[in-house]
Chain A
């Protein structure tokens, strides 16, 4: 690897003046070759960065020819990464990989090798930010990192844009892909192609990204590079002649990858002269600065302090602060076409800075926004009610706070006769919902079965990739959930892809967990929404003491109605306290009762004795009885405890 003959002097302490060079006289030989081509090059001091605490004054020293060599120097160059390079030297790329195939480890290595992150500052898997992510080992929130890499004496600016791997976030993935020109396709050399790999590769190909296949984990004994290469070529149809073999963990092949990024991924188009347009690919809420927006500049230039305009949300702001992520936030004065960065503009909520939106100048607006913007459409809904009605305000505040950082979460107020005031929340999918950690209930808004002609429910297409040993049980699983077999093919001798269509309702819940458990974890799955189909769904009503309890109603498939009805009525009988009269509990379809339980009336509830010393004790008993009453909701004459509602909803989730 050729290393440019620089020497960098790094000094601690403030360096007050921005040192800019014009093409006129350069005291900075390091930048010399670039100056003649481009007027925008200058070194300037690094600003405070979130993660790197010390102030580092960076400047390029006049250099004498000296033969430096070794990766150590390359690491030093990393400090230089705020320097501008010509557009032709920018590479914007992302890493596509299935879960656990080593994307984060590879990203870490790239950061390290380019000196972007000091070994000391290295927290394992630097890109994973949220605690939940760490727990589950998955990436949810995007991050980006600007790296500086020198090859053949040329400095390059490599922008790594991280992508979420989970199927629920395909829109966010697609927008971050749109911010790139290329992608590293990372495949575990012992595992081979997985469902998620496929889904995201297709997305990348759709976005015309240059894909560099990378086989990771070649250090492992089970690695079969040739087989996997064959898989990739066959299944994806990608030319693997340039495939790079690496072991991110061991640090093997990393430089090859960096070189390949430079040589094979095209630079962004030079549209710096056009009206400013930037694609938002992520944002998050910072309590002190408002929403921080991550974007890729597609055309034009943005300067700090510019008045900007968001084309989809139609809001305008002043870009108080702009900078790059490397990987922490580092302020700059300008960003131009091809670059990736962030801005802070005292934006109130992420809903105002939506992924996929186009930023342009308020004054000189671009004609057209960047393509591909979509409003995130929730697919899974649930009702969220505070157990204590007094906490409605707190719940709303909590949801609003969540929404600050999650544009895909939407919610609106909802009233339920039994549950009081609450919210109906929409999520992109199950993982999304789990992240927000709520309980789910199926919405019940079906009309009278008599009047309805037909009912439709959403269907999804799932593709399961599994070793051949588990084909049988997975097919059984899908069929159990009202799945329609579509096709099966063998990807390799030992692995098959099975495609089913099944109702979303059957997938919500534990389908994924079951898939994993039935295949000992080896199978993987992707799903996509394929529209509404007619279905035999009916509304199951619950009546307590002859009164319809709407919040407990649920939609079930006709075949399951009896079992569900029985389970629900039994559960209610357990949980509703006895009353002074008999309480019939029924499950019905329309007017027809399909399951019924009866809660017997209390016959005797009396304290025989109540003399002097007893009085305090008996009073306490009765007071306790009274407290119990206060926590009830009235359904006509019947007092139903809040716990009963919760338990029934939980049961519905399990049984249905």
Chain B
């Protein structure tokens, strides 16, 4: 929810419906920065909404902050961080600004160039957040997520632990039965889908489709098999991948291939403070893949960007890691492999892609 868009009564209505967690899109504690990111709220709204939440008795809530905004100074950032800490928020999502193509920011600003901060300054913001928030007792459990003990966001964890989920709405993403699919982006198609779903037969077919992962077409390469969740027999539809002809419901997705699943596991687990769980990884994907990943990450263990941990989550030394690798990962010393905080997290793209590169044989 955004500050300024709700009051005490609407909040209590939501809570009575069963909502048990609120994420407040604060972003910044400076009016000039709020204006720059095109927010409709101001600092007063922020304070008000914080009050409302706190007085509602809701214990599970989160607050968003963005760093590397245009013209943001380190002082302003520190100010925002302190204010966030002071608010007592049990959970903080702290995002480094990502400028995306096709957006207004993408047209106006270039990363690393004024008024956006340089790469170095950006990195400093990230480190500052880590410094202040850790001191304030927050756990940095994911690249952009901090929480007080036990207050991890279950919703997000679902994504990061690669659990299946349904998404609803225009263009919503779901992940069921190993298939990642997206619902129709257009209202008309979506409405049709809902209509079809209301018929019993369609529902059964949909479930069947999901379970079987039947495919009309095959996508070559790493991406996996494209699954079309059917149209009515004989019906045709244009989709991103071309013309679809087929069965009953209206969605399309991709059944992930094994290599995709491996990459999911690596990428998602390394983004977490928990790290990659060695035994589980080995069990699921096999020894060879684990070996490749370990070998690829070895130089970064030595440089301190990657940390091997034992079963008690104590950091092991680089030498221990080497021994572990040489024993072909048989000695059970290393139980977790995580990226270090903040250095490893800051360079997570590099490290994850290094791991990816080791996967294909060449």
Contacts and interface: CB of A to CB of B under 8 A. Distances in A.
Interface string B44-57: 00000000000000
Contacts of A637: 299
B165 A619 contact: no
Contact of A622 (B167, B222, B353): B353
Given A580-B305, A619-B263, A613 B182 contact: yes
A517 to B, nearest CB: 41
A605 B362 contact: no
B102 to A, nearest CB: 13
A626 B357 contact: yes
A611 B156 contact: yes
Chain A at the B interface: SS class: loop
Contacts of A608: 95-98, 143-144
A606 interface: yes
A136 interface: no
B347 interface: yes
Contacts of B357: 626-627, 629-630
Contact of A604 (B95, B159, B165, B346): B346
Contacts of B303: 580-581
23 contacts: A602-B119, A603-B123, A604-B123, A604-B347, A605-B346, A605-B349, A605-B350, A606-B126, A610-B267, A610-B268, A610-B271, A611-B156, A615-B173, A615-B180, A615-B264, A615-B267, A618-B267, A622-B267, A623-B353, A625-B349, A627-B357, A629-B354, A629-B357
Interface string B265-296: 00110010000000000000000000000000
Nearest 8 Cβ contacts at the A-B interface: A626-B356, A613-B173, A625-B353, A603-B123, A626-B357, A605-B349, A626-B353, A604-B123
Given A606-B349, A626-B357, 6 more contacts: A604-B96, A607-B349, A609-B144, A613-B172, A622-B353, A625-B350
Contact of B348 (A607, A616, A629): A607
Given A615-B264, A637-B299, A580 B347 contact: yes
A581 B173 CA distance: 38
Interface in A590-641: 602-613, 615-616, 618-619, 621-623, 625-627, 629-630, 637
A609 B348 CA distance: 12
B75 interface: no
B260 interface: yes
B249 interface: no
A611 B356 contact: no
B141 interface: no
B352 interface: yes
Chain B at the A interface: SS class: helix
B345 interface: yes
A611 B353 contact: no
Question: Chain B interface residue count: which class?
Answer: 35 or more
B81 to A, nearest CB: 16
Contacts of B268: 610, 615
Interface string B170-184: 011111000010100
Nearest to A610: B271
Interface in B314-338: none
A606 B126 CA distance: 10
Contacts of B160: 610
Given A612-B165, A622-B352, A629-B357, A607 B346 contact: no
A605 B347 CA distance: 5
A632 B313 CA distance: 35
Contacts of B119: 602-604
A386 B299 CA distance: 29
Contacts of B175: 612, 615
Nearest to B120: A603
B271 A602 contact: no
A622 B348 CA distance: 10
A612 B348 CA distance: 19
Contacts of B180: 615-616
Nearest to A605: B349
Nearest to A629: B357
Contacts of B96: 604, 606, 608
B144 A603 contact: no
A547 to B, nearest CB: 15
Nearest to B352: A622
A608 B129 CA distance: 14
B122 interface: yes
Contacts of A604: 96, 119, 122-123, 126, 346-347
Nearest to B167: A612
A603 B350 CA distance: 11
A619 B119 CA distance: 22
A623 B223 CA distance: 11
Given A580-B347, A606-B348, A607-B348, A619 B267 contact: yes
A602 B180 CA distance: 33
A626 to B, nearest CB: 4
A343 to B, nearest CB: 50
Interface string B131-171: 00000000000011000000000001001100001010001
Give the most central of A603, A606, A622, A630: most B CB within 10 Å. Answer: A606
B292 to A, nearest CB: 12
B271 A623 contact: no
Give the most central of A604, A625, A630: most B CB within 10 Å. Answer: A604
A581 B299 CA distance: 12
B350 A612 contact: no
A606 B356 contact: no
Interface in A535-581: 580-581
Give the most central of A603, A609, A613: most B CB within 10 Å. Answer: A603
A625 B96 CA distance: 20
A399 B303 CA distance: 45
Nearest to A619: B263
Contacts of B95: 608-609
Interface string B68-100: 000000000000000000000000000111100
Contacts of B144: 608-609
Contact of A580 (B143, B254, B350): B350
A158 to B, nearest CB: 63
A616 B252 CA distance: 14
Given A616-B180, A623-B356, A625-B353, A609 B98 contact: yes
B263 to A, nearest CB: 6
Nearest to A612: B173
Contacts of B171: 613
A580 B300 CA distance: 10
Nearest to B300: A580
A604 B346 CA distance: 5
A615 B352 CA distance: 14
Interface in B165-208: 165, 167, 171-175, 180, 182
A553 B240 CA distance: 51
Nearest to A625: B353
A386 B221 CA distance: 26
Interface in A163-182: none
A598 B50 CA distance: 48
Contacts of B299: 637
Nearest to A623: B356
Given A613-B173, A619-B260, A637-B299, A606 B346 contact: yes
Interface string A195-223: 00000000000000000000000000000
A257 B134 CA distance: 100
Give the most central of A609, A615, A637: most B CB within 10 Å. Answer: A615
Contacts of B165: 612
B85 to A, nearest CB: 20
